[in-house]
Chains A and B, each alone.
Chain A
Amino acid sequence: MSTTDTDAQRAPVPPGWPGDDPTLPDDLDALGARWWWWVGRRTRGRRVGALEGPGSRSSDADRTGERAAEGDGDDWPADDVAVADDELDLDDDPGGAGPRWTDRFRWRGSPPEDREPPDDDEPLPVDDDDLVAGVQPAGRVLVVLVATLVLALLVNVDDLVARVEAQPPGPARDRTLAVLHPVQDVGNALQLTRIRDALDALSGDGGDGPAATGRDGARRQDGDRAAPRGDGGDEPAGDGEGEEGTERDDGPRAPTPDDPLRVWVGGDFMAQAIGRSLAAAGDATGVVETEVRYEAASGLTRRDYFDWPAAVEEALDEHDPEVVVLVLGVNDAQGIVRPDGTPAQVDEPGWADEYGRRVGELMDRLGGDGRLVVWIGPPPMREPGYSARMAAITAIYAEQAATRPWVHVVDLARVVGGPDGAYADAVADPASGAPVAVRQPDGIHLTDVGSDLVAAHVMDLLRSQVDLSGAPGGDG
């Protein structure tokens, strides 16, 4: 039933409303009834005309229509929820006294004046349609919306940064990240991001994950890990053109539970997922301790954005890792600036030379002291052009590693690609042979299963180089 009295349709003034204004308010301050006033106040029961949203079945039933009765489509399956034509007369004067079209949505039951006046002392009636619909002034809704989004943004900012950096490189992504990074700093400073971390841990999405996440490693858990071993961190291994770091006979020692193998994982957003899987796999051995450092949208082309050589230097000083796993390349298909200040675009001949030079320098810096370097290239991507650029980058890694035996390049096309190394949504699980989805719907990200496959591949590689049985006997 609908009412025809437009005055009756107007809601009574809610508690706190500044006066019984007969006209509808026009500004947000009025709409919100001074929003700050509402903070901390409970909404009192306002039992006025019952609003029915479109989500209830009865409202659909009300629309049972006469269209079907026209005989045109009387046997069409959806006939009995047709819209009543007589309620949809466009000629209705919206301001007139006749029934308004939206009445059928908005007003059901008795007109407001037929109801008893609200009594603030009376318990809230839970069967009140208005209360169920949660009718509120627009200004208050705006305050709730803004506060909700700000709070949710601060809690989830790490995840958002990872999502944005999954997008192909470009100015839009850079702009978004420029906005999100300060928010990320605030979220970390307020410790709000820990809420999301805890949820991820509960859902098994990183519960056994790496000790450190985030762009600044602020939440790294060093715990009581042993102090850096040896003094290799002070040695400028980069001088030796690779030869210096080739004491392969030494290799990483055989770790024990008391003195685990120190693995450091660094890289872009892929490092987050792969590092998490790698940390879990390492934990399972009982003799591997993993640190992860990832940086959104980073790579080796844009040192002005993030300086990986400096970050690696810092990691060598701080952790003295015996195994370094680098996951880079996804963000690197963009212009690069050569040492002489001239830029080179991706497709220009000088680009590969400059990129290769940077890769080689970093590989050299990581060599020495028997350190093992696992360099994971980007996987094939669904978008063919993007995928071709990733393949070219992986080829540069392989070329640079060819003369540096301490570096092992992992070509992800062989791990999460199809039989021909091309992009594949799903691959056969090496263990069971069952198909497993390794890529997310965006055609860029790895799924958790995909990350686990990569981690298993890296662990196999480690086992071929290091005795991970945990048996004592390593020379420490």
Chain B
Amino acid sequence: MQFPTVAFAIFFLAAFVANWLLRPHPLVWRATMIAFSLYFCAWVDVRFALVVLGVAALGWAAAAAAHRAMPEGDPTPVSRRIVRAAVAAEVAVLAALAYRGFLVDSVTGALERLGWSGSEPVVDVVVPVGISIYVLHAIGYLVDVGRGEVEPVAFADLLLYLCFFPHLVAGPVVRVDELVPQFHERPDPRRVPATDAFVLVGSGLVKAVVIAPWLAEELVDPAFAAPAQASGLELLVAAYGVAVQVYAAFSGATDIAIGCGLLLGIEYPRAFDAPFAALSVRDFWDRWNLTLSHWLRDYVYVPLGGSWRGRHLRPRNVMVTMVVGGLWYGAGWNFALWGVVHGVYVIAEQAAAARAERREPTALLPTALTAPVHWFVTFHLVCLAFVVYRAGTVGDAVEVLGRVLTLAPGGAGLVTPLVLAVLAATVASHFVPTEVTYGARARFSTLAPAAQVAVLAAGLTLIAALGPDGPLPFGRLPF
């Protein structure tokens, strides 16, 4: 089931009514929300719900066993082994279901290059909805329990934490201690933050339904389908387009998820925080898909040793973490390479920062220019990485970058004033403080319900009219 569909709207209305009516009854509420979430998972294939149940059962049993092996509350060798085995099993489930094609293709490709001609028949496995989200949640829970940071939770709580439908499509990725306590709270049904929720869902729809597919169709897809036809300037704008398109698709989906959560009385942390306003690549990762960044830090970077096991290991840890993060966005070597590029950026920045600490501070730039120059460089480094992300192969990426750098002639008529305006407006919106919208939000809040209905229906109609004619491209999101 996808967010911007009539089916989801009807589904959500039913969930909304059930949520607020049953909230006074915790057990019934949890059972009902689990039923809704499993139905959401099973929309495409009923077996997907079984996968969620399996992942939850494994996580719950292993966490309980690990906790029993920690009588003092601190990790023991036994508890560590249990957690490692369970995490390995969860990763295996993810690899088998979401990355199988990628892995098989990579292995057979390598074998063929070595002279093996046997081709492995690839079974067409349909990837369960949201599998990367709930497997990441399960791993986080296991590690947290294994570290003694959280107590094991009831199976129903864990199952609902893993599969709660608002975050299943594209996150946010939340920690167990961010969500499960809310399942035990009873939010005031008279105080639903409706305007905040409507604004989030509306802005999410504009980004995910209007901007992302439009940019893909008008600029990015044609440019990258035949880069030799486009001029260097067009490919440069297409690189900006990829960055804005990916941002719009992912942040749009998470905004919708957060808005739906608010309407149900569940609050998620923010996932995107004006990433294109970043002044360094590290700042970018402090703003881009924050919740995933936190997960990667806590469950990949830190277990690898972070920075405290020796500075010489830090670059390796950063690189591994970035590659894992890249692969979350898609099962392909281009996504892994995108992670490598960002890993290089972060390592270089850390090295530069460390060197700067040892030296006398010297002002290379006038103070007034420092921030704009940092922003300009960061933005272009990020867009450069997105060329790798979008290009199917390294060769394609090199071709695109070569044509950009040489300002290759040509022209496919892809860059129009409207394309430039949409790109500029999206990037510029990152510099607009949230407070600017407070007046409009307050005015909307004071409207009579009938007027609110008119405004919201007009907004939905506008989004539908400007969106693509066919089904919406949520298939481009990760699993």
A27 to B21, CA, bound (A): 6
Complex: chain A residue closest to B216, CB-CB: A441
B426 on the interface (CB 8 Å rule)? no
Given A135-B194, A441-B216, A441-B470 in contact, is the A127-B453 Cβ separation under 8 Å?
no
Contact assessment for A81 and B450 in the assembled complex, using a CB-CB cutoff below 8 Å: no
Chain B residues with CB under 8 Å of A142's CB are: 13, 16-17, 20
Contact assessment for B20 and A133 in the assembled complex, using a CB-CB cutoff below 8 Å: no
A288 to chain B: closest CB distance in Å? 24
Which of B13, B177, B190, B262 lies at the interface centre, i.e. has the most chain A CB atoms within 10 A of its CB? B190
B262 to chain A: closest CB distance in Å? 6
Partner of A105, one of B190, B267, B465: B267
0/1 string, B178-196, CB within 8 A of A gives 1: 1011101111111111111
B196 to chain A: closest CB distance in Å? 4
Chain A residues with CB under 8 Å of B13's CB are: 142, 145-146, 149
0/1 string, B193-206, CB within 8 A of A gives 1: 11110111000000
Partner of A138, one of B192, B302, B471: B192
A180 to chain B: closest CB distance in Å? 8
A9 to B185, CA, bound (A): 13
Given A41-B448, A72-B306 in contact, is the A437-B181 Cβ separation under 8 Å?
no
Given A140-B449, A435-B412 in contact, is the A94-B181 Cβ separation under 8 Å?
yes
Residues of B within 8 A of A (CB): 6, 9, 13, 16-17, 20-21, 24, 149-151, 153, 175, 177-178, 180-182, 184-196, 198-200, 213, 216-218, 221-223, 225-226, 229-230, 258, 262-263, 267-270, 273, 281-286, 290, 293-294, 297-298, 301-302, 306-308, 314, 346, 350, 411-414, 434, 438-439, 441-450, 452-454, 456-457, 460-462, 464-466, 468-473, 475-476
Given A146-B13, A437-B221 in contact, is the A199-B461 Cβ separation under 8 Å?
yes
Contact assessment for A144 and B195 in the assembled complex, using a CB-CB cutoff below 8 Å: no
Chain B residues with CB under 8 Å of A124's CB are: 442, 446
0/1 string, A79-122, CB within 8 A of B gives 1: 11111010010111010000011100110000000000000000
Chain A interface size, as a band, is: 35 or more
A268 to chain B: closest CB distance in Å? 14
Can you offer 14 A-B residue contacts whose CB atoms are under 8 A? A54-B258, A63-B269, A75-B306, A78-B293, A79-B297, A83-B294, A142-B13, A142-B16, A151-B454, A159-B469, A426-B225, A434-B230, A441-B475, A447-B217
Complex: chain B residue closest to A445, CB-CB: B470
Contact assessment for A73 and B302 in the assembled complex, using a CB-CB cutoff below 8 Å: yes
Contact assessment for A83 and B175 in the assembled complex, using a CB-CB cutoff below 8 Å: yes
Complex: chain A residue closest to B150, CB-CB: A90
Which of B198, B230, B297, B454 lies at the interface centre, i.e. has the most chain A CB atoms within 10 A of its CB? B297
Residues from 57 to 75 in A contacting B, C-beta threshold 8 Å: 57, 59-60, 63, 67, 71-75
Given A53-B196, A152-B460, A196-B461 in contact, is the A134-B412 Cβ separation under 8 Å?
no
Partner of B221, one of A24, A59, A160, A425: A425
Contact assessment for A10 and B453 in the assembled complex, using a CB-CB cutoff below 8 Å: no
A82 to B177, CA, bound (A): 13
Chain B residues with CB under 8 Å of A140's CB are: 194, 449
Residues from 318 to 357 in A contacting B, C-beta threshold 8 Å: none
Contact assessment for A73 and B267 in the assembled complex, using a CB-CB cutoff below 8 Å: no
Chain A residues with CB under 8 Å of B302's CB are: 72-73, 76
Contact assessment for A60 and B413 in the assembled complex, using a CB-CB cutoff below 8 Å: no
Contact assessment for A92 and B181 in the assembled complex, using a CB-CB cutoff below 8 Å: yes
A156 to B439, CA, bound (A): 30
Chain A residues with CB under 8 Å of B301's CB are: 73, 76
Contact assessment for B222 and A435 in the assembled complex, using a CB-CB cutoff below 8 Å: yes
B272 to chain A: closest CB distance in Å? 10
Chain A residues with CB under 8 Å of B308's CB are: 71-72, 74
A13 to B217, CA, bound (A): 50
Chain A residues with CB under 8 Å of B184's CB are: 94
Chain B residues with CB under 8 Å of A128's CB are: 442
At the interface with chain B, which of A161-169, A249-257, A259-267, A294-302? A161-169
Q: Known contacts A24-B24, A54-B262, A76-B301; can you find 13 more A-B pairs with CB under 8 A? A: A55-B434, A57-B273, A73-B302, A77-B346, A102-B182, A102-B267, A135-B191, A137-B191, A144-B456, A163-B469, A437-B218, A441-B475, A448-B469
A271 to chain B: closest CB distance in Å? 13
A241 to chain B: closest CB distance in Å? 40
Contact assessment for A38 and B297 in the assembled complex, using a CB-CB cutoff below 8 Å: no
Contact assessment for A73 and B306 in the assembled complex, using a CB-CB cutoff below 8 Å: yes
Contact assessment for B283 and A77 in the assembled complex, using a CB-CB cutoff below 8 Å: yes
A132 on the interface (CB 8 Å rule)? yes
A171 to chain B: closest CB distance in Å? 15
A470 to chain B: closest CB distance in Å? 29
Given A145-B16, A155-B461 in contact, is the A441-B468 Cβ separation under 8 Å?
yes
Residues from 20 to 59 in A contacting B, C-beta threshold 8 Å: 24-28, 31, 35, 38-43, 45, 51, 53-57, 59
Chain A residues with CB under 8 Å of B447's CB are: 42-43
Given A81-B286, A94-B181 in contact, is the A74-B192 Cβ separation under 8 Å?
no
Complex: chain A residue closest to B9, CB-CB: A149
A388 on the interface (CB 8 Å rule)? no
Which of B9, B213, B284, B473 lies at the interface centre, i.e. has the most chain A CB atoms within 10 A of its CB? B9
